[in-house]
Amino acid sequence: MSLVIIAPSKKNTRFWQQSLSESLAQLGLRVNVEIWPEVEKPEEVLMAVTWKHPGESLYAYPHLRVVSSMGAGVDHILKDEHLPLHWQVVRIVDQELTTSMSNYLLAAVLNYHKQMYRYLQLQQHQQWGYTETPEIPLKPGILGLGELGQDIARKLQALGFDVAGYSRSPKELEGIHTYAGEGELDAFLQRVNLLICLLPLTRQTRGFLNRALFARCQPGTYLINVARGEHLVEEDLLEALQQGQLAGATLDVFRQEPLPADHPFWKQPDIVITPHIASVTKPEAAIPQVAENYRRMIRNEPLLNKIDRLAGY
């Protein structure tokens, strides 16, 4: 039995290989863990552990049964629309990742709430900038009420914010105003003045943050995107900022990463840029889940964190 790691952009694949071999051995499994492209017997590979794998690299393994993401996202796997239906796709769920994401979002929301971004700009020009209204009355709205969305919703609510959430299907969260489906999107957008994008990346949500959506928001709305760069139509964001429809944006994800040095976002004073660091899955949390799913796979037991291939998450 074999497992292949396909993650050419990762620098810690050797660590994954060694740690995963040890975790599988602790479960009583003798599995040959290999790193793409050096795979001795492709016909023995039953599981692939991937992160942004190249092209058709998965198709070299005729008996492949499970494709596991090395992180929480699976869009890099599902972008291949020809994946065999019998392949099961799973992701990593990490409570530390959830906490890390919420901490980033709390910092970003409070940056706008307390106008810290404004004071930093004034400091660069040696201006005092005192104001008698130091807090902006924000009403955060969360796009996507999965595990990450629900966590930040509760934490913002605990700080006293009036929080709303939007999802594809109806959700109920105590003390949170929830909206679902296209029919309730306008009501959601008109209730909030700060958008947090935590949507999964699917064909339906690609380019979701666009000119049409921004036009439906309240003037002066803030945007925080920590989901995927492909959710955002970058030209539409610049236009909305220039027109005042949006007041500012905090972006941790981009269509092209690293963000090119000549990208217009760098010179936009009302955009805060961070280099995709809002949350990072730790191998120590991910590897035991991968090993457990391998054990479950060979026993034909339900897998942990299996995604809905049709829904895309």
138-187 pLDDT tens trace = 999 999 999 999 999 999 999 999 999 999 999 999 999 999 999 999 99
Active-site residue, 191 included: no
Tell me, what's the pLDDT at 7?
Answer: 97
- State whether residue 25 is helix, strand or coil: helix
Domain 2-94+281-298 shares a fold with domain 95-273: yes
Residue listed under structure tokens 């306008």: 186
The pLDDT confidence band at residue 289, using thresholds 50, 70 and 90, is very high
Catalytic residue of the set 76, 154, 177, 276: 276
* Distance from C-alpha of 221 to C-alpha of 165, rounded to nearest angstrom: 15
Structural domain spans, the chain: 2-94+281-298, 95-273
Tell me, what's the pLDDT at 17?
Answer: 98
Tell me, what's the pLDDT at 59?
Answer: 97
Using the predicted structure, report yes or no on whether residue 132 has a pLDDT greater than 90. Answer: no
Domain 2-94+281-298 has CATH 3.40.50.720: yes
Q: Please give the span between the terminal C-alpha atoms of the chain, in angstroms, as a whole number.
A: 28
Catalytic residue of the set 53, 91, 228, 231: 228
Domain 95-273, CATH: 3.40.50.720
Active-site residue, 276 included: yes
* Distance from C-alpha of 166 to C-alpha of 274, rounded to nearest angstrom: 25
Do the beta carbons of residue 94 and residue 70 sit within 8 Å? no
Tell me, what's the pLDDT at 310?
Answer: 83
The 10s digit of each residue's pLDDT in 230-242 is: 999 999 999 999 9
